[in-house]
Amino acid sequence: MACVIANMIVQTAYACAEDEFALVAQRDQKNCHYIGSYCKSKVLGACIEKREVYCCFKSPLARIMNEQIRLQGDILGEEYDGFGIPKNPKCTGVPLDKIDRVDCSRIDLSEWIALLRITRNLPTDETVNLESLTGKGSKLDVDGNRLNTLDRVMERLEGTEIDNMRSEASKRMDIDTGYRVEENSGNEPTQ
């Protein structure tokens, strides 16, 4: 019986340790918003177990966006004004039907830009160009032979008579609105 109880205690402690390790990893990646702490257990009026409460997201950008959007409770309503209190956190994301109400001009992404700069992932003039975005080296380049957008368009247009195409398109787009200008004796257009 003692072994069973000891085993349960070890398993419980190990399970908590896994959750704690996961939380530490999330916090280190800057994915979590700290809400606060509260006393979980008291003995003789003294707190013996204190809990810290966080809302964690999939990425730092998701956290930053949620923090900034939740500053707009005046627009989205009281339920999305902040993250609640430690004993009753509100960590749900903002539903899609409310996203169109978000005032994007009030979203501050300076922390995200700073994180990109620190990790050397902030795009620069040297790293952002047509080739890196759409050609070799881009995420779209699965076989190492991808041409950039401009080269692909030029390749497709090779041998094409652009002026003829433009003329044909213009003829097909001629819309009859019913408006006619006729000349009268006074040189004034009439309808």
- Tens-place pLDDT, residues 129-143: 888 889 987 888 899
- Reduce the DSSP state of residue 172 to 3 states and report it: helix
Task: Measure the CA angle with vertex 58, ends 52 and 61; round to 5°.
Answer: 100
pLDDT of residue 30: 93
pLDDT of residue 66: 92
Mean pLDDT of all residues in 12-29: 77
The number of beta carbons lying within 10 Å of the beta carbon of residue 183 is 9
| More confident site: 13 or 173 | 173
pLDDT of residue 11: 57
Maximum pairwise Cα distance, the chain: 117
Q: What is the pTM of this model?
A: 0.60
DSSP string, 112-128: HHHHHHHTT-S--TTT-
86, 51 in Cβ contact below 8 A?
yes
